[in-house]
Amino acid sequence: MATMLSPDTQTQSKAGRFGAYGGRYVPETLMAALEELEHAYAEAKADAAFQAELDLLLKDFAGRPTPLYFAKRLTESLGGAKIYLKREDLLHTGAHKINNALGQGLLAKRMGKRRIIAETGAGQHGVATATVCALLGLECIVYMGEEDMRRQELNVLRMRLLGAEVRGVASGSKTLKDAVNEALRDWVTNVRNTYYILGSALGPHPYPTMVRDFNRIIGVEMRQQILGKEGRLPTAILACVGGGSNAIGAFHEFLSDLPGNDKVRLIGVEAGGRGKTLGDHAARFEGGVPGVLQGTYSYVLQDENGQVSLTHSVSAGLDYATVGPEHAALHDCGRAEYVSADDAHVMEAVVKLARTEGILPALESAHAVAECIRIAPNMPSHDILVINLSGRGDKDMGIIARELNIQGAQGH
C-alpha cells in the first residue's frame, strides 16, 4: 500500500505511481477496462498515424499553437517581473480541456467504444467532450453536479446544443466530486461498451499519465515560444490547480531542468475559497492529508475519520477535494510549489486582467493571475513570469457580474 512508500521521486514509477502517489483503487469490475485502456493508450502513443491525426485536429480544429502573449500593460501596472500569458483561453471551446478531450475521443474511437461518458465541474471539460463527440459522431453523456449546473448554466446549454445528454447529480455537495462518483457508477455498470473521458490528471492509472500527456503540448510550446522571445527560460510558471491538468501540462516540459540558475519555478495555485476552515476552500496542500479518493492516492481534504470534506470555491473547476497524484509527488519532493488564492483576490484579478489587457479570464485561471499580482511587484524587472491562462471567462459572467455588482440592461 501507498502509505509507507517513500515519496522520493518526481519521475513516474510503474503501475502509475508518482513517488508514493497515484495507483489504482477501484472496484474490481473496472480493472479489465483500465488494463484495456492502458494497453490501447500505449499502442496509440506509439502509432505515428494516431499522433498525426491528433496533431492535425489540435491545429486546424482547436487552434494550436496558442500564442504566448507579452502582457505589457499588466507588467507595467505591477511594476516588477515581466509577465507573459500562455493563451489556452483562445482554444476552441474556450479552455485547455479540448487538448485532452480530442486525445481521448480519438482513442475511444480507435478502441471501438461509441458511448462516451464524462464528468464536468465548470462545464469546460463537458463542453470539450460534447464537442469532440459531435465531431467524431459519438454518443455523449455528461454528469454534472446540480450546483455546478446552476452556476455554469451557459455551459449546460452549450453541451445540450452540441447533442450531449447532461445528467444532473444531486448527491453530496452537488459539485465535481459527486459528478465523478456518478460517472464511475455509470462506467462500472456499462463498462463493456463505454469509454470514460476523465477530464483531469486524476483518477486511477492510466488517467493521470494520459491526461497529462495530452496536455504536455502546453509546456512544449511555451518553452519554444519563450526561448524565441526572450532567449531564456522563465523565472516561474504559474497555473491554477483543481485536478491539475492544465498545470501539469504546463509544468511537465520543465520538470527535468536541473536545479540552479536555469531552474524554472513551478507554482500551482489552489482555490483558497472564503477561508481557512475545512469546507470553506479547496486548498488540498494546506488542509489535506494523503488518502484515496476516486481511484487515486493523493492529498485529500477529509475529516479525522477519513470522510471526504465538502469544499468551496467561487470557481466550479477548482472546487474539488483531491488533486492529481503527480502534483502530490511534485509537492512532496519540492519541485513545484503550491499556494492558494482566495475568492476575493480572484475577483480582483479578473478585473485587473480585463482592464489592463482586455482579457477576461476564467475564474479558475484567475487564481494564477491573482498569485502573479501578489508576487510580480516584488520581483526584479528582468525576471519572467508565465501564467498559463487555461480558460476564458465568458462562462463566468453571471457570477462575476453578481460579485462585482455590474449592471446589465436593467442597470445604468
Partner 1 sequence: MAIQFQHHPGLVVYLSAGDTGLTPRESHAGHAGGAVDLSLTREIALAAIDAGADVIEIGVPYSDPLGDGPVIQRASERALLRGTRLVDVLALAAELRAARPQAGLVIFSYLNPILRFGLPAFVDAAAAAGVDGVLLIDMIVEEAGEYLAEMKRVNLAPIFLAAPTSPEERLKAIVEHSQGFVYAISRTGITGQQKDVETGAAALVERLRRWTHWRGLPIAVGFGISNAEHVAQVGKFADAAVIGSAIVELIERSTEEQAPEAVSRFIRGLFTQGLHRQHEVQALEQREPASL
Nearer CB in complex with partner 1: 1/258 = 1
> Which residues in 62-79 are b (16+ Cβ under 10 Å) and which e?
bbbbbebbebeebbebbe
Instruction: Give yes or no for residue 291 binding partner 1 (CB under 8 A).
Output: yes
Cell of 171: 448527491
Q: What is the 3-state secondary structure (H, E, C) of 283-339?
A: CHHHHCEEEEECCEEEEECECCCCCECCCCCCCHHHCCCECCHHHHHHHHHCCEEEE
DSSP 64: P
**Helix/strand/coil for 185:** helix
Instruction: Mark the segment that binds partner 1 (CB under 8 A) among 124-132, 254-262, 285-293, 353-361.
Output: 285-293
Nearer CB in complex with partner 1: 33/400 = 33
Q: Which of 211, 287, 183 is nearest to 16 (CA)?
A: 211
Instruction: Give yes or no for residue 245 binding partner 1 (CB under 8 A).
Output: no
Using the structure block, give the residue that is written with the C-alpha cell 503527480: 326
Binding mask 114-153 for partner 1 (x = CB under 8 A): ----------------------------------------
Nearer CB in complex with partner 1: 26/389 = 26
Residues assigned a catalytic role: 97, 119, 390
Binding mask 23-42 for partner 1 (x = CB under 8 A): xxxxxxxxxxx-x-------
Instruction: State how far the Cα of 358 lies from the Cα of 380, in Å rounded to an integer.
Output: 25
Give, as ranges, the residues between 177 and 206 that touch partner 1 (CB under 8 A).
177, 180-181, 184-185, 188-192
What's the CA dihedral at 174, 178, 180, 186 to 10 degrees?
A: -100
Give, as ranges, the residues between 368 and 397 that touch partner 1 (CB under 8 A).
none
In terms of Cβ atoms closer than 10 Å to its own Cβ (0-12, 13-18, 19+), residue 407 is exposed
Instruction: Mark the segment that binds partner 1 (CB under 8 A) among 81-89, 292-300, 337-345, 347-355.
Output: 292-300
Give me the sheet containing 336-342, strands edge to edge.
68-70, 82-87, 384-389, 236-240, 265-273, 336-342
Q: Within 111-243, where are the H helices? A: 124-136, 146-151, 153-161, 176-189, 207-215, 217-230
Instruction: Mark the segment that binds partner 1 (CB under 8 A) among 92-100, 139-147, 298-306, 350-358.
Output: 298-306
Instruction: Mark the segment that binds partner 1 (CB under 8 A) among 79-87, 130-138, 258-266, 288-296.
Output: 288-296
Handedness of CA 167, 62, 368, 152 (dihedral sign): negative
Shortest Cβ distance from residue 180 to partner 1 (Å)?
8
Among 8, 11, 15, 72, binds partner 1 (CB under 8 A): 15
Binding mask 301-340 for partner 1 (x = CB under 8 A): -x-xxxxx--------------------------------
Shortest Cβ distance from residue 265 to partner 1 (Å)?
32
Q: How many residues bind partner 1 (CB under 8 A)?
A: 43
C-alpha distances (whole Å) from 134 to each of 90, 159, 211 are 20, 10, 20
Nearer CB in complex with partner 1: 292/359 = 292
Shortest Cβ distance from residue 354 to partner 1 (Å)?
37
Nearer CB in complex with partner 1: 73/114 = 114
* Interface residue list for partner 1 (CB under 8 A): 1-4, 15, 23-33, 35, 171-172, 177, 180-181, 184-185, 188-192, 289-295, 300, 302, 304-308
